[in-house]
Structure 1
Amino acid sequence: MTSSESVSFGYEDVTPEEKVARVGAVFSSVAKKYDVMNDAMSVGMHRLWKDRFVARVKPREGEQILDMAGGTGDIAFRMAAQGASITVSDINQDMLDVGIERAMKRGIDGLVWSRQNAEELSFGNRFFDAYTIAFGIRNVTHIDKALAEAYRVLKFGGRFYCLEFSTTEWPGFAEIYDVYSHKLVPKIGQAIAGDADSYRYLIESIRRFPKMGEFEQMIKNAGFRHTKVEPILGGLVAIHSGWKV
């Protein structure tokens, strides 16, 4: 039995079940070229954004941190270098497999790799000191459920950090980026990953994601306090944060 509810898959409206399947197919398709494509699409800037993000999280030795949608390990590797204990979770096993392979090649030990649905985590209540998710929450079918789960698994005093694309508010830049993302990114995806459609979806998913203020309100609605939004490039990318107090 499928749901009559409608959710977005890029510019399409589909059932939740269809979105889960189609998002899974997208990331299985792009997994092996995901990081190469990130470099190509952002001209390498995604590395700086991730460095800035982890600097805001301030991972510390002895902390337990859940990195959700962290498949290829980019965020986890940075946080593990600070001494924190990291559980890397992703709904897509192909993405996790890429991350495990990268960790082995880099000689990074001690990470926990766990296939998880952000909307239904298997972890106990109040287990983690911090929850991070980078460029993943817009692909979740029910964002409110994922935020509720993030709140549940955090300890009191725990912190939530999300790095996600948003809508730039810089005049002129928004129009330039719109042309670049819709016209060129799918062509780059075809050239590098042999897959234009998946990257067309990823761009469309950015357009359908709530604006910064709307997403901050969703984080508040999940129970988080002291929420903050830090725009990058006028809001093209934003770091969202909140505390469980």
Structure 2
Amino acid sequence: MTNKPNQQDVAFGFRKVNEGDKQGLVNEVFSKVAARYDQMNDLMSGGLHRLWKDDLVAMLNPPKGQGAFNHLDVAGGTGDVAFRVLRAGGPNVRVTVADISPEMVSEGRSRAGTEGLLGRCSFTVGNAEALAFPDKSFDGYTIAFGIRNVTHIDRALAEAYRVLKPGGRFLCLEFSQVDIPLLDRIYDAYSFTVIPAVGKAVTGDGQPYRYLVESIRTFPKQEDFKGMMDDAGFANATYRNLTGGVVAIHSGWRI
């Protein structure tokens, strides 16, 4: 593949691809798995992703009273996090879901309709690196298992900061660096053998899940990602490891 002018190679799993091509490759992965994405999360994590997302929303703590709260969930196409935010908050909580995959957005909108939540939850196809929202639009921003798939993490963080209101909170739930000896070896063995095999058995194609596993290994470690949040301007950037560092929740505030 010939590089386009002024473009660099970036990681797509363990491969290097032209930065102009990565998003299309990512979109292809999620177009294949959209209909069974949450089912595969159950199989890959033994259901733990549900608890991790519950922790994410508990940290967000959307208001339960009458106060308005306008929230943005990015890369949350199936609505799994958005629906949790709505159920945890009061009647004036509204959630916008932005996901770059049309197939994932379609899946989420359908589920919202089934659950009677379309009146409080809207879905749009959107790129985390170039969000189509005005400055200072949202009280909260979440992104769960999505930021490692963007081409330029720094641009996604800058956009998150831009669309948050002063005092708004950024929360990112992402696979991270296991910090318990021996668990890291078990986790690696499980990730590179079991997950692609299960993916192939359930969806007929294990390759998307091999990419998802590889993308975890190329994502910045906890302290490095915290440093990127600092660089983006977030105040009080912190992180909390869950399940021995299999995942981490990073938190920061726009001031």
Q: Same fold (TM over 0.5)?
A: yes
| Counterpart among 239, 243, 249 of residue 239 in structure 1 | 249
* Unmatched segments (≥5 aa) in structure 1: none
* Unmatched segments (≥5 aa) in structure 2: none
| Counterpart among 182, 185, 193 of residue 183 in structure 1 | 193
Distance 1:50 1:170 in 2: 22
Distance 1:168 1:189 in 2: 22
**148-157 or 106-115, which moves further after superposition?**
106-115
Distance 1:76 1:201 in 2: 25
Report the residue type matching 1:87 in the other structure: T
- Under a length normalisation based on structure 2, what TM-score does the superposition of the two structures give? 0.94
Distance 1:51 1:241 in 2: 15
* Residue aligned with 1:191, SS: helix
Report if the CA contact (8 A) 1:116-1:122 is conserved. Answer: yes
2:79 matched to 1:73? yes
Distance 1:163 1:3 in 2: 32
2:216 matched to 1:206? yes
Distance 1:77 1:100 in 2: 11
List 4+ stretches of structure 1 deviating above 2 A: 1-4
Distance 1:193 1:87 in 2: 29
Counterpart residue number, 2:30: 27
2:107 matched to 1:101? no
2:12 matched to 1:12? no
Report the residue type matching 1:235 in the other structure: G
- Deviation of 1:183 after TM superposition, in Å, equals 0.8
- Deviation of 1:108 after TM superposition, in Å, equals 1.7
Length, aligned pairs only: 245
2:45 matched to 1:42? yes
Counterpart residue number, 2:152: 142
Report the residue type matching 1:134 in the other structure: A
Counterpart residue number, 2:58: 55
- Deviation of 1:186 after TM superposition, in Å, equals 0.4
**23-32 or 110-119, which moves further after superposition?**
110-119
* Residue aligned with 1:209, SS: coil
Cα offsets for 1:165-209 (capped at 9, x unmatched): 001111110000100000110000000111100000000000000
Identity of aligned residues (%): 51
Distance 2:46 2:147 in 1: 22
Report if the CA contact (8 A) 1:2-1:15 is conserved. Answer: no
- Deviation of 1:16 after TM superposition, in Å, equals 1.2
- Deviation of 1:133 after TM superposition, in Å, equals 0.3
- Deviation of 1:107 after TM superposition, in Å, equals 1.8
- Under a length normalisation based on structure 1, what TM-score does the superposition of the two structures give? 0.98
Report if the CA contact (8 A) 2:148-2:215 is conserved. Answer: yes
RMSD: 0.9
- Deviation of 1:3 after TM superposition, in Å, equals 4.4
